[in-house]
Structure 1
Amino acid sequence: MPNILLTRIDNRLIHGQVGMTWTNWLGANLVLVADDLLAADETQQSLMDMAISGSAESRYFTLQKTIDVIHKAADRQKIFMVVRTPQAALQLVEGGVPIPAINVGNLHYAEGKKQVTKVISVSEDDIRCFRALEEKGVHCTAQGTPDDKKTPILSLINQE
């Protein structure tokens, strides 16, 4: 089984907080970004690599390639997986990727979304995906940095 230390949903994908703070705190030696758009954009990959701790490597796979190859990961790989959306996380889980828990970092506000924290806004489809993930046993919590308190995402969504 692949050694996935943490899976994070962050629509920014890799930035300083992800590439340095979380990677170092986890002790990850591989940051795996599962994202169909970024997998095809070598320029953006190079920019994101600049934000990753020097002790970690990076891989940029499509969602399907992640599903297809994750079980071939070496035991020595301590994987920090990052996806852009709850929909992507759900697709990975439904594809058999063993994700026990998800950290929700940043989901930008857009029209039609409900803001639930300063940095997390959700659409009806996002809420559907979070509920589906929880039903599949994948616990989803909001947490900006390792020092922040973990808050169950559904409790934030259900606050009105």
Structure 2
Amino acid sequence: MAEPNILLTRIDNRLIHGQVGVTWVNHLGANLILVANDQVAEDPVQQNLMDMVVPDTIQTRFFSIQKTIDIIHKASPRQKIFIVVKDPHDALKLVKGGVPIKKINIGNMHYEEGKKQIAPTVSVDEEDIKAFKELAKLGVELDLRRVPDEKGQNILDLIK
């Protein structure tokens, strides 16, 4: 079975918004945005709101983490897939489940109580740091940047 054509995986707790639906999609040349998130997979209202941001030429799918793991290998080679997840824990579940993710873009993780800000749009706690370190051990490149033309940084350099 051929490996799915995953162009990039992005961690963004907003999931699909203008930056993802237009800027990143155009930069990558993606024709499919796959949101892997258990809550959104069950919420048609959120799905519809996210679909409004995406050009009509781009397909969207809203799958649970498990469904993504189960069917990603059935993707057509014509599908140029951009996966979006809410946090590093979901990304780690995908990788451990066999989704062939080689690079993760960390774009947005809002500050909340108990998290420390490590970049203008990224805040982490100890559990997030553990997940990032485990992803790195599994061979995943971790690139922190908001938009494609920004210079990326390895998140591990910021969380040591």
Does TM, scored on the shorter chain, surpass 0.5? yes
Distance in 2 (CA, whole Å) between partners of 1:122 and 1:77 is 32
Per the normalisation by structure 1, the TM-score is 0.97
Residue 105 of structure 2 corresponds to 103
Per the normalisation by structure 2, the TM-score is 0.97
Q: Which runs of 5+ in 1 are unaligned?
A: none
* Cα deviation, residue 118, structure 1: 1.1
Residue 46 of structure 1 corresponds to 48
* Cα deviation, residue 53, structure 1: 2.4
Alignment match of 2:118 (pick from 110, 116, 119): 116
Q: Deviations over 1:93-123 (max 9, x none)?
A: 0000000010000000011101001110001
Which residue type is aligned with residue 146 of structure 2? G
Secondary structure, aligned partner of 1:82: strand
Residue 150 of structure 1 corresponds to 152
Q: Deviations over 1:30-66 (max 9, x none)?
A: 0000000000000110000011123210000000000
Write out the 4+ residue segments of structure 1 that deviate beyond 2 Å after TM superposition: none
Which residue type is aligned with residue 81 of structure 1? I
Distance in 1 (CA, whole Å) between partners of 2:55 and 2:101 is 23
Report if aligned partners of 1:31, 1:81 keep a CA contact under 8 Å in 2: yes
Distance in 1 (CA, whole Å) between partners of 2:92 and 2:62 is 18
Which residue type is aligned with residue 57 of structure 1? Q
Secondary structure, aligned partner of 2:129: helix
Report if aligned partners of 1:23, 1:53 keep a CA contact under 8 Å in 2: no
Q: Aligned-residue CA RMSD in angstroms?
A: 0.6
**What is the total number of aligned residue pairs between the two structures?**
158
Distance in 2 (CA, whole Å) between partners of 1:17 and 1:144 is 8
Report if aligned partners of 1:10, 1:85 keep a CA contact under 8 Å in 2: yes
Q: Which runs of 5+ in 2 are unaligned?
A: none
Residue 68 of structure 1 corresponds to 70
